[in-house]
Structure 1
Amino acid sequence: MLLDTPVRLGVQIEPQHATYPQIREAAARLEDLGVDILFNWDHFFPLHGDPDGPHFESWTMLAAWAEQTERVEFGALVNCNSYRNADLQADMARTIDHISARGGDTGRFIFGTGSGWFERDYDEYGYEFGTAGSRLTALGRDLDRVVSRWEKLNPPPTRRIPIMIGGAGEQKTLRFVARHADIWHSFVPAEGLAHKISVIENWAETEGRDLSGLIVSNELKNRGESDADALFDAGTRLFTLGWAPGSPDYDVVKRWLRWRDGKNAV
C-alpha cells in the first residue's frame, strides 16, 4: 500500500509553560535548522506540569506561524473536532493555507484532526463531552463536511490540503483514515504497525480509495534510534518529536535531523 517516501521530521512545539516570544523564537530556529513540519496541539490547558500554568490556543498560533515561516509545513497534532463547527474549521484551514503561500507557491498547512479526549477542556469551555463513541461518530460526519466545504469556498484552498488523522481504533478511526487521510498518526509500536496497516487497507477496499500515497506517522519522544529504526522498517516515514519551548533542547532536534538525513541518504 505504502510508497517509499522520504523520511520527514516534525517537531511539536508544546504551547504550554512558555511565553509567546519563546514559542515564536522556537518556530524560527527550528525552521532554520531544517525541520520539515512544525506542530502544536489543540487544548486549552497544559497537558503536563502545572495544570494551571501558561498555555496558548492552537489555531490563532497556527495563523501566526503561517505568516512567520517561509518553508516548513505546519498544523495541529491534532485539532479537536469538538471545539469548532466543521464548516468553520474548513474555512479557517483554507484561510491559513492562503496566508502561508508565498508568491506562486501553494500553502503549507496540514489539517491534523482527531475526536478529542481531554475532559477538562470540554468542562471548562462548555462543550458536551459525550462518549468516546459519540465523539468519533461526530468526527466521521464532520470530516465529510470539511472536505465538502473546501469544494465550495471562494477562493478555494491553494492545494488539496493534506488531512492527518490521529488514532488507532479499528472500527471507526482507521476507517476515517482510509476514507480521508493523507497522513495517519499514532503511537502504535513498530511490532503492531503491520496489523494496523492491514486494517486500513481493508477499510480502503470498502471505501474504494487508493491509499498508495498514505504517510505513516509516529512519535519519537522518549524513544531511541533503535526504536526509530524499527518504526522505519515497519513503514513509518514521518517522525514527530514533542518539544518544550520553555526549556528548549536544540541538540536533540539536531540529533534526529542527522538520523533523518542518514535514512534519506541510503
Structure 2
Amino acid sequence: MSPAPVRPVRLGVQVAQQHGTIGAIRDTVAKVEALGVDIVFDWDHFLPLSGEPNGPHFESWTLLAAWAEQTSTIQLGALVNCNSYRNPDLQADMARTIDHISGGRFIFGTGSGWFERDYAEYGYDFGTVGTRLDALAEALPRIEARWAKLNPPPLRDIPVLIGGGGEKKTLRIVAKHADIWHSFSSPPVLEHKLGVLAGWCDRVGRDIAEIEISTELRRRSVDEADELYALGARLFTIGVSGPRYDLAPVVDWLAWRDSKNAG
C-alpha cells in the first residue's frame, strides 16, 4: 500500500444563490478569492432553502460557468450537483466545458438529491431515497466514460466530490468513485462513518487514504474543528447566504486553516 498523501487543510466557501443579486454574488466570489479561500461552491437548487421560499434565486451550472470566467486561482464547483436534474452524459460535458473555461479548476461535486420542492416545481420525478441513490450509482460510470470520450477531454482528471453519509449505498458509491467525500458529521459520527467507509474501500479494493475527507463548519467551535481534523478531515466548508454575504466567519476560519498548515 502506498503511503497516505500529505494533505493540507483547505477551506471552501459555499456562496448560496438565494436572496442575493447577481452583482452581490459576483462581488462575494471576488472577495472570497482575494481572501485566499481554496474553493468556492454554489448549490444545485432552483429555489431558496431558507427565508422567503419564493425569494430571489439563480441556477447553479450557468453561475459556475460565469465564476470560471470571473476567477483565476480558486477552484470551484457545486456542493452539490443534483444527479436527478440532468442526463449523466450532459453533466460530464458541462463539467468538461467549465473545466476548460476555468483552466482546470473545476470540481465535480454531486449527490442524489433531496429537496422535494425542486423536483415538484421543475417536473422531475422525486422517487425515493433508494431510487435516487441507485440512479447516482448508475450515472457515475457513464460520466467517467463520457469524460474519456470527449474531444477535447477535460484538462485534468476532474476531482469527484460526493456528498452524503448513508452507510449502505452512499458510502459504497464514495468508495468506488469519490476523490472527496463530504458530510455534515459531528466528530463522533465522522469517526463511525470513516470506519464504514474503510470497510467499503476494502470491499472495492480502494485505499481510503486516496479520499479527501470534507466536512461542514457551520455552527462548529474551534474545538470541534480540531477534533474533525484529528480524525482526518482536511477540507472544511462554510456557507454564506444573501442578501448580505457576511464573510467575517470566513476570515476567522482562514486563520485557523493557516495555523494548521503551519504546524
For the aligned pair, the TM-score class normalised by the smaller chain equals over 0.9
Counterparts of residues 101-116 of structure 1 (less than 5 Å): 101=103, 107-116=104-113
Number of the residue aligned with 1:47: 49
| Residue 20 of structure 2 corresponds to residue 23 of structure 1 | no
Q: Match for 1:206 among 191, 203, 207? A: 203
Instruction: Give the total of aligned pairs.
Output: 261
Partner of 1:169: 166
Q: Verify the 8 A CA contact 2:4 2:210 in the aligned structure 1.
A: yes
Residue correspondence of structure 1 range 225-264 to structure 2 within 5 A:
225-264=222-261
Q: Secondary structure at the match of 1:212?
A: helix
In structure 1, the residue corresponding to 2:131 is in which secondary structure? helix
Pairwise CA distance, 1:221: 1.1
After superposition, the C-alpha distances for 1:61-100 in whole angstroms (9 at most, x for unaligned) are: 0000110100000100000000000000000000000000
Is 1:117 the counterpart of 2:114? The answer is yes
AA of the residue aligned to 1:5: R
- 1:74 to 2:113 alignment: no
Say if 1:2 and 1:214, in contact at 8 Å, map to a contact too.
no
Secondary structure at 2:235 match in 1: strand
- Tell me the CA shift for residue 3 of structure 1: 3.6
CA-CA distance at 1:10 after TM superposition: 0.2
Aligned twin of 1:104: none
1:90 aligns with 2:109: no
Give the alignment's TM-score, normalised by structure 2.
0.97
**CA offsets per residue over residues 235-254 of structure 1, 9 Å max, x none?**
11000001124212222111
Tell me which of 151, 155, 176 is aligned to 1:179: 176
Distance 2:205 2:89 in 1: 25
Q: What residue ranges of structure 2 are gaps of 5+ in the alignment?
A: none
**Shift of residue 230, structure 1, vs aligned partner:** 1.1
Residue in structure 1 matching 2:140, options 137, 140, 143: 143
- Residues in 1 aligned to 2:244 and 2:222: alpha-carbon distance in whole angstroms: 23
> How far does residue 2 in structure 1 lie from its aligned partner after superposition?
5.4
Looking at structure 2, the residues matched to 203 and 241 of structure 1 have their Cα atoms a distance apart, in angstroms, of 28
Tell me, what secondary structure is at the counterpart of 1:75?
strand
Q: Which amino acid aligns with 2:84?
A: S
Structure 1, 68-77 or 240-249: larger mean CA deviation: 240-249
Indicate the percent of aligned positions where both proteins have the same amino acid: 61
**Aligned partner of residue 151 in structure 1, secondary structure:** helix
Deviation at 1:4, TM superposition (A): 3.9
TM-score w.r.t. the length of structure 1 is 0.96
Partner amino acid, structure 2, of 1:176:
I
Unaligned runs of 5+ in 1: 102-106
* RMSD across aligned positions (CA): 1.1
Matched residue SS, 2:208: coil
Which one of 41, 64, 67 corresponds to residue 65 of structure 1? Answer: 67
The whole-number CA distance in structure 2 between the counterparts of 1:148 and 1:211 is 23
- How far is 1:213 from its partner? 2.3
Structure 1 SS opposite 2:155: coil
Structure 1: 4+ residue segments shifted above 3 A: 1-4
Conserved? CA contact 1:2–1:215, under 8 Å: no
